[in-house]
A and B are shown apart, each in its own frame.
Chain A
């Protein structure tokens, strides 16, 4: 595992500080997101996760690294992309931390900062999914899978031939994507939502040691929102 080096304990690099700000903004948007402060490092999340065996950094370690000012290490992990969002960890966390949502927040932070990930195929799929939805308003699975394998390994596409035949035979194959009627209005909604999203992104992150340091966690209000 890589470790960012800090000159002094309690200080963090500029990159780390930026990441922390973006991530904390994402966490604040999660109902009861501030519970991340309550992690007792018990490892119930890792133990409950059906895919933690395949992760390079376990869910418990993700939170530990965040607290230790090592978000950059987390950003480069493949773990967050293996999470299939089954919510087993969230359900069992004794501190009520919404770990699945925290991982979503980490994913968004990576996407926002444009980090190269160890599992680029997930980002490819996520982007294609979004494109697909933007173009038609509904998901056309055939187009999504075809485009995905064209980008990640075209030979695999041939492996799908028997499946496609079976789907055709059982009348389960939609050959062409279909646009929804109010496609234009959906595009307008999406465009507006993107604008709004950008509104919340400060053009230049202000560097305030108090906010970004380890005290950064203290800047989040504890239990200020209603969450179940």
Chain B
């Protein structure tokens, strides 16, 4: 299948590990990703707080561009995924809003019918390609690596998308299939605070401390995420959490596509593993490097 790839602002540079690994994994699974030419920021959660029609129009420009390509959108960033899906839903449910947004889009020579579907890579992997097909391509067994599958809040909510809203299982199933051991992780959909790390730092530090604590207490070797913001909060701020709470967390955080890439036997170099701040640890490094041997 072909998809209109929407990397989103953070995947462009700051979270290149996600971008690179998504591209590599999809290539390995014979899926074609064509980046949407000249896409713009989806508006994330911030824009909605200011003006509604404007935020919908900004986000709809991307949907219109994908429609022109005749493809469905693949959006790995949870926030982009939710924002684009939400725009889609509002435009489809409220005709007046659809009309207004199209009027604005027309200024840029675009229009949008409302038919493009917004998809998350996890959804495509598990529901379209299917676990059996993916399993057939596994080259490396994760050898009981203990994984805390952290879904975050945006991909399974607000509306039922492609997995359960309270207890999603797709990541668990995916990594169990490649020999990993997903640990009991009841905080799998608990919020990381997102932008609160900037505006209400103490609150966000507490949320992330609780997540790390939950993963550690349940014996995880690694936390696996699907969202650039969760990744940044959990990884880049781990030092700050340690200072603030006098803890000693040293938990590697990976994108699910990075770990999946390892299982698929893809070269570590293309998966952006070198972009991690926290050392991945012996277990993961030996798995990742094993293909060179």
**Residues from chain A with Cβ under 8 Å of B39 in the complex:** 138, 180
Q: Give residues of chain A (117-140) contacting chain B, Cβ–Cβ below 8 Å.
A: 119, 121-122, 125-127, 129-130, 133, 137-140
B54 → A minimal CB distance (Å): 4
Contact between A166 and B277, CB atoms less than 8 A apart: yes
The distance in angstroms between the C-alpha atoms of A163 and B275, with both chains bound, is 13
Within the complex, the shortest CB–CB distance from A136 to chain B, in Å, comes to: 8
Report A222 CB to chain B, min CB distance, Å. Answer: 16
| A208 part of interface (Cβ distance < 8 Å) | no
Chain B minimum-CB-distance residue to A194: B54
A50 with B190, Cβ < 8 A, contacts A86-B153, A172-B14 known? yes
| Contact A87 B13, beta carbon cutoff 8 Å | no
| Closest CB in chain A relative to B285 CB, distance in Å | 16
Complex contact A125–B46 (CB within 8 A): yes
Contacts of A87 in B (CB 8 A): 153-154, 157-158
Q: Mark B174-188, 1 if CB is under 8 A from A, else 0.
A: 000000000000000
Contacts of A31 in B (CB 8 A): 89-90, 93-94
Cβ of A139 and Cβ of B199 under 8 Å apart?
Answer: no
Residue B262, interface by CB 8 Å: no
Closest to A106 in B: B49
**B9 within 8 Å of A (CB atoms):** yes
Cα(A188)–Cα(B108), bound, Å:
6
A42 within 8 A of B: no
Is chain A's binding surface mostly helix, strand, loop or mixed? helix
Select which of B9, B38, B89, B90 is within 8 A of A181 by beta carbon.
B38
Q: Would you list which residues of chain B between 1 and 56 have a CB under 8 Å from chain A?
A: 9-10, 12-16, 38-41, 43-54, 56
A12 shortest CB reach to chain B, Å: 25
Let me know if B40 and A51 touch, CB within 8 A: no
User: Contact mask A134-178 → B, CB, 8 Å, 1/0?
Assistant: 000111110001001000000000000011001100111110000
Q: Is the CB of A145 within 8 A of B166?
A: no
Give A87 to B127 CA distance when docked, in angstroms: 24
Q: Smallest CB-CB separation from B191: which chain A residue?
A: A86
Q: Report which of A50, A90, A127, A133 forms a contact with B58, defined as CB distance below 8 A.
A: A133
User: Which residue of chain A has the shortest Cβ distance to B14 in the bound complex?
Assistant: A172
Known: A171-B275, A172-B13, A192-B103. Contact between A84 and B159, CB under 8 A?
no
Question: Does any Cβ of A come within 8 Å of B212's Cβ?
Answer: no
Q: Give, as a whole number of angstroms, the nearest-CB distance from A132 to chain B.
A: 8
A127–B46 Cα gap in the complex (Å)? 8
Contact B100 A26 (CB under 8 A): no
User: Is B196's beta carbon under 8 Å from chain A?
Assistant: yes
Whether B51 pairs with A194 at a CB distance below 8 angstroms is yes
Nearest chain-B residue to A30 (Cβ)?
Answer: B90
How far is B157's CA from A137's CA once the two chains are assembled, in angstroms? 27
Distance in angstroms between the alpha carbons of A189 and B38 in the assembled complex: 15
Count of A-B contacts with CB under 8 A?
190
Give the residue of A54, A91, A119, A193 whose beta carbon is less than 8 angstroms from that of B158: A91
Does B274 lie within 8 Å of A129, measured CB to CB? no
- Say whether B193 contacts A84, CB under 8 Å: yes
- A107 CB contacts on chain B under 8 angstroms: 48-49
Q: Verify B44–A129 contact, CB threshold 8 A.
A: yes
B276 at the interface (CB under 8 A from A): yes
CB neighbours of A190 from chain B (8 A): 54, 57-58, 104
Q: Which of B72-111 contact A (CB under 8 A)?
A: 89-90, 93-94, 97, 100-101, 103-110
Indicate whether A51 sits within 8 Å of B193 (C-beta atoms), given known contacts A192-B103, A194-B54, A196-B103: yes
B236 at the interface (CB under 8 A from A): yes
Complex: A227 Cα to B52 Cα, angstroms? 18
User: Is the CB–CB distance between B54 and A193 below 8 Å?
Assistant: yes
Cα(A227)–Cα(B10), bound, Å:
32
Q: Which residues of B contact A188 (CB under 8 A)?
A: 107-108
Partner of B46, one of A126, A137, A193: A126
A-B contact pairs, 7 of them (CB 8 A): A88-B191, A98-B158, A170-B274, A172-B16, A174-B14, A180-B38, A193-B51
Q: A88-B191, A125-B199, A193-B56 are in contact. List 13 more A-B contacts (CB 8 A).
A: A54-B200, A84-B45, A84-B193, A86-B194, A111-B50, A122-B199, A126-B49, A141-B9, A141-B14, A172-B13, A181-B38, A186-B40, A225-B93
- What residues of chain B have their CB less than 8 Å away from a CB belonging to chain A? 9-10, 12-16, 38-41, 43-54, 56-58, 61, 89-90, 93-94, 97, 100-101, 103-110, 153-154, 157-160, 165-166, 189-191, 193-196, 198-200, 203, 207, 236, 239, 274-277
Interface set of A (CB-CB < 8 Å, partner B) = 26, 29, 31, 50-51, 54, 81-82, 84-88, 90-91, 98, 100, 104, 107-108, 111, 119, 121-122, 125-127, 129-130, 133, 137-141, 145, 148, 162-163, 166-167, 170-174, 180-182, 185-186, 188-194, 196-197, 200, 225-228
